[in-house]
A and B are shown apart, each in its own frame.
Chain A
Amino acid sequence: MASFMCDIVTPDAKLASVEAEMVVVPGAEGSMGFLAGHEPLVSVLSDGEARIKAAGSGETKSYVLQGGYVEVSADKVIILADRAVSSDEIDATAVRENLAVVEGKMASLTAEEIAKTTLASDKVWYETQLRVVNAA
């Protein structure tokens, strides 16, 4: 089957760059799947899971994304995300603990103080990870 390059890029690093057969991303208006030769497309992504089916081995890898975009061009799919992590690397207990810490901190601050920090987005990030892990 025809394949194409798929990159997952975050501000910190290039998380993945694989030869893919199919990519499924959580679009803002519902999940979208891309095969080779897809029309050029740019879309906002919602927080959730992206799955990449590697060409050749046919192995599917899953990544959790927050605040992302996807850009599909002739021979390439680029997923830009504020934060991303491979689902295999998520440790549900550690995430739960982090979530509890964040919630604890948020409880001790006023809404105005929270707006000055990144706690709210941290919370969403941990919740998204848990959601994906629990669904799997």
Chain B
Amino acid sequence: MPNLHDIERRINSVSSTKQITRTMQMVAAAKIRRANERVEASTPYANSMVEMLANVAMRVGGSENALLRTHDEVKNVLIIAIVSDRGLAGGFNTNALRQMERLMHEKQAAGASVEVIACGKKAIGYLTYRHVNPSLSFANLSADPTMDEAAQISAYAIDGYAKGTIDEVYLVYNHAKNAAEQQLRQQIVLPVDTSVLDKNTKAVEADETRLEGDTIFEPSAEAVLDHLLPSYVRTTIYQALIDSAAAEQGARRNAMMSATDNATEMVETLTRLYNRVRQGAITTEISEIVGGAAALEE
């Protein structure tokens, strides 16, 4: 039987942990709102961008643009892994990093060499431990991703793709389905996936009222497309970054919520044990006294 003092110490330690987890839960809950606002603010831009691109792509047809062309032989793959700077978010980081590793092995098995862009300290740490050198790494930005970060990543990817030093670019990140649920996503960025555009093209075609007559392109449809594609890639990456930031807060809130619940339960169990042990001690004491008194009487 543990003694009273030990149990008391454990109760104290568990309740102070609970205080911390509850605070983190509330902080994350407050941050979810901010992160979601940012996602919403950027949605009109992304939507207009996709719509415009679909519109242009439909007109241009088989384009010669370097970013649309699939490379015949996939020798070099770039993976952009987006995770968080901090832990304590349940499976948030582990899931994304495992998926990244799976993709790496898959590509390596197919005979391609893989390089990684790491966004978030957890990704950097994970790679360093495995002696992989990230091509680019970003720390301290996971909670507040910037357009600059997305611009740097996309510049690197587009440059490599156009030069032929990169044949495929993938994004691995957590999508914030809603405040409580995260979904792991793996998305191909380059070559630009025209099937996504095709879907939108159909939507544009269906919406005929919006497209009366032929659209004029200036300077030309091809030139517009050449300008749009890099912006599209950058927007895709930026969207993934802010989406992941929102998912991170959601994941952290969930993790902290269950930690708080567990702590509450544990305190309850321990308090019950504490009371039982104390009662046991009192009973022992009384029976000793009674026993002593009885001995004296005789």
* Among A36-44, A85-93, A96-104, the stretch in contact with B: A36-44
Query: Which residue of the partner chain, among A32, A39, A80, A116, contacts B52 with CB atoms under 8 Å?
Result: A80
Identify whether the interface residues of B are mostly helix, strand, loop, or mixed.
Answer: helix
Residues on the B chain within 8 Å of A27, using CB: 218
Residues on the B chain within 8 Å of A118, using CB: 148, 151-152
Question: In the complex the two chains form, is A40's CB within 8 Å of B216's CB?
Answer: yes
Residues on the B chain within 8 Å of A67, using CB: 231
A80 and B51 CA atoms in complex are apart in Å by 12
The yes or no answer to A73 lying at the interface (CB within 8 A) is yes
Nearest-CB residue, chain A, relative to B230: A67
Nearest-CB residue, chain B, relative to A67: B231
Question: In the complex the two chains form, is B45's CB within 8 Å of A10's CB?
Answer: yes
Nearest-CB residue, chain A, relative to B149: A118
Query: Which residue of the partner chain, among B38, B210, B216, B223, contacts A44 with CB atoms under 8 Å?
Result: B223
Count residues on chain A whose CB falls below 8 Å from chain B CBs. Answer: 30
Question: Known interface pairs A43-B217, A44-B224, A71-B52. Does A11 touch B152 (Cβ–Cβ under 8 Å)?
Answer: no
B-binding residues in A (CB < 8 A): 7, 9-14, 27-29, 32, 39-44, 67, 69, 71, 73-74, 78, 80, 82, 115-118, 121
A-binding residues in B (CB < 8 A): 38, 41-42, 44-46, 48-49, 51-52, 55-56, 136, 147-148, 151-152, 155-156, 209-219, 223-224, 227-228, 231, 235, 238
